[in-house]
A and B are shown apart, each in its own frame.
Chain A
């Protein structure tokens, strides 16, 4: 810092530095304040929030929203379903993606060029919603919890990232040495490639995890049975369709806003946002470097 600061000391540079600091502060504020506000609004007195007296510090602490959420079975059913789909789904994703990525990373495997095209093509062209819907209907996957797992078993983008990693990070000599020891592809993959690739396994594992956790589309289009719906569908009902109270009371609609029930419904909404996003936000700072690594690997030519 001090060295660089010495270098930049013309009046123009000082003005630049001031502008830079202010812009960065503004960016930070605009990014983080909405999230911070949701958190403080969720524990503040709803009337205080609605009348604009809560800005930076929670006012008149109230746990009403969280009490309602704790008592709302829809949320916990949704949570349970989402955890199930996320855990099973991510496991299937990794089991399918990693071996294929490894096979496609072997340079001596000539069909890999054709296969890569076969995979990559689906990123740019697809059958669209209706054929997919009819296919899932024919396969009896509508209203079936496997619909959250199987159609998204391979994400081609993640496959490409994993392949690029295997190709660039596993030294060729290692494979040659293993071949001399009589190791075949299966053994090499399990004993050498996987243990040396924990970085990429974490990266694409996390990508898949977030994808499952945030999946709203599948539940909306392919599932009717409410007991099978994931958290995101329940969140939609509470946050957007305004069914904050499971009994159906609080939904006074947009028009009756500001009303007593509306204020309490809003507090439940703030609480629901916190409860549903908390796992991601709490884990995020620890996992961030893995996510970032994925972007880097994906952008290098594989």
Chain B
């Protein structure tokens, strides 16, 4: 979550050990000098580099499996080249449109609601006067973020149980009887999204609260003198102060437009809701790991990653042009 903003202060930082202004030697001599001076830093960085090469870049190399037949003896590098066979198989499969629709519906709904909720919460908490009250509200709303996904889904199951669940009973009290929130296909997305908001809105509001804390108090004073009400102040001072943060988070979120949380959806799946709950990530797991169709699974996974990556790059470019804010 870093924002590139090159400033003079950064460039001015001078390396302490580079005392002279002689042109730096190039080639072998330069390399030897570099190694002599910085070998300790290399040693410190090396374990992390090694882990990332092994567990991030080697799997990327293994993506070629999407274009090859799987060969048990060859492993990661695959066997015979088959080109786009597995992509074609996926696009032509009857599952394709269902999977795409489910994935897009779940992730876009989560994206929109999950994007707005923390902003609204931050604006709300920011209005609370008194440090301790504010802290208490923050502490309480962050708490669910640390509950594990398994426990969250477990809570959903006991609360939404058709016979004895807490939420089912509350629904009965307001006149909705016989609801089966766990099996009903139309309830899956709302249950998923609302529980996401319950768990993460508080935590995701931290960054907005920080942005609000840095608003110049004089702005509020001036607005107050001009007779602005509190809604007007929120609308014209607080909200604009959040825009840069909103853009960065929006770009980052766009990179996940087709990646729904695998674990939560997988845990929430049951035979009754599978028609709306099967998404790309869970399908890859079932095709690849459970039924050992490694090449096919890799192809679907790569398709998913490529779409996400494209969305990220496009949003970043647009944001760069429109608002001068970008990730890189």
Q: Say whether A associates with B.
A: yes
Residues in A lying within 8 Å of B, measured CB to CB: 1, 4-5, 7-8, 10, 12-13, 16, 20, 23-24, 27-28, 30-32, 34-35, 37-38, 49-52, 95-97, 99-100, 102-104, 106-110, 115, 118-120, 122, 124-135, 137-138, 150-151, 153-154, 156-157, 159-160, 164, 172, 175-176, 179, 184-186, 189, 210, 213-214, 216-217, 220-221, 232, 235-236, 238-240, 254, 257-258, 262-263, 266, 269-270, 272-273, 276-277, 280-281, 284-285, 288, 291-292, 295-296, 298-299, 301-302
Choice from B40, B129, B146, B285 contacting A4 with Cβ under 8 Å: B129
Bound CA–CA A94/B168 (angstroms): 45
**Does A50 contact B137, Cβ atoms closer than 8 Å?**
no
Query: What's the count of A-B pairs with C-beta under 8 Å?
Result: 288
Nearest B residue to A101, CB-CB? B48
Kindly state whether residue B184 has any CB partner on chain A within 8 Å. Answer: no
Q: CB-CB < 8 A to B150: which residues of A?
A: 214, 216, 232, 235-236, 239-240
B2–A185 CB distance below 8 A: no
Residues A16 and B230 in contact in the complex (CB < 8 Å), given A235-B148, A281-B143, A288-B139: yes
Closest partner residue, chain B, to A51 (CB atom): B164
**Assuming the A-B contacts A134-B65, A134-B75, A184-B40, are A124 and B255 also in contact, with contact meaning beta carbons closer than 8 angstroms in the complex?**
yes
Q: Which residues of A contact B65 (CB under 8 A)?
A: 130-131, 134
Let me know if B154 and A126 touch, CB within 8 A: no
Instruction: Name the interface residues of B162-192: CB closer than 8 Å to any CB of A.
Output: 162-164, 166, 169, 182-183
Q: Which of B11-19, B90-98, B99-107, B235-243 contacts its partner?
A: B11-19
- Given A35-B144, A138-B76, A235-B151, 4 more A-B residue pairs with CB atoms under 8 Å apart are A31-B141, A125-B305, A133-B289, A270-B158
Q: How far is the CA of A102 from the CA of B44 in the complex (A)?
A: 8
Q: What is the chain A residue whose CB lies nearest that of B284?
A: A129
Within 8 Å CB of A110, what residues of B?
Answer: 34
**Contact A27-B52, Cβ < 8 Å, known A38-B155, A128-B63, A236-B150:** no
Checking A7, A16, A115 against B229 with a beta-carbon cut-off of 8 angstroms, the contacting residue is: A16
The residues of A that contact B312 with a CB separation of less than 8 Å are 124
Interface string of B279-292 (1 = CB under 8 A from A): 00100110011000
Which B residues lie within 8 Å of A235 (CB)?
Answer: 148, 150-151, 154
The tally of residues in B whose CB lies under 8 Å from a CB in A reads 102
Is B116 interfacial (CB-CB < 8 Å)? no
CB pair A150 B51 closer than 8 Å: yes
Q: Please determine whether B158 and A266 come into contact, CB atoms closer than 8 angstroms.
A: yes
Please tell me if the beta carbons of A154 and B48 are within 8 angstroms of each other in the complex.
yes
The answer to whether A131 touches B76 (Cβ under 8 A) is yes
Contact B13 A107 (CB under 8 A): yes
B1 in contact with A298 (CB, 8 Å): yes
Q: How far apart sit A217 and B198, CA to CA, in the bound complex (Å)?
A: 22
- CB<8 Å pairs between A and B, sample of 9: A100-B49, A103-B44, A118-B52, A127-B60, A127-B62, A128-B63, A128-B304, A130-B289, A295-B210
Given known contacts A35-B143, A239-B151, A280-B147, A179 and B309 CB-to-CB distance under 8 angstroms: no
